Structure 1
């Protein structure tokens, strides 16, 4: 009984993203629908924020899906559709931000952090290699060492 319940729950969770696009939104032309699904996967749901509009059930996501399909059926290219939506909602609507001067810090920060960390480790290691690890010998120890070396 428990296995059946877990299996049913797993199947429902796997199929959950499929429920986001309603049948009345699907375009009749399979090629246009495939383009719409590809574009929808690149756009962020402004309500959910970590989901694409293709996976979200929010009303705003539905409106954006319909807008994408409308622009595609009007003959816009994929780039024109994305540019139109970005012009209305800003760069944040893209799940993968474009590389530009505005996003230079966003794309460059990981590289800068890795380089800074590596240089810090090198500098730390170099400073540690030249320093003695023990304390200086006392006069008695120095005398004993001299005595042993003279033998």
Structure 2
């Protein structure tokens, strides 16, 4: 079977803040920026990896959810428990310095984990957990 990951979805509640974090701080390319009925979907991805995308989407656009569910999602986003993503790099310490300088909320400084990876963690402007792992040589 020949499968790849084409897109993952992360909610946002402030498209300009999401764009500043993913484009300006992390250095991702903007591949799409679409507005519809007062909402905005932004697609970003790492340079040189055109088939790998993150779609930053308004949670209110999810079909079939109730107003109570929207409220729960907003509360979970605020606590950073609704969505997460794990990124990888060859130099987690250098990426940590860049992201920290961008004023992101630091959750964990770079450290060697007992399960064999070195990583760090931040919250994006919507509260999503962004973990960054060091690639093994």
Into which bin does the TM-score normalised by the smaller protein fall?
under 0.3
TM-score (normalizing by structure 2): 0.22
Higher relative contact order (CA 8 A, sep 6+): 2
Greater share of residues in helix: 1
TM-score (normalizing by structure 1): 0.21
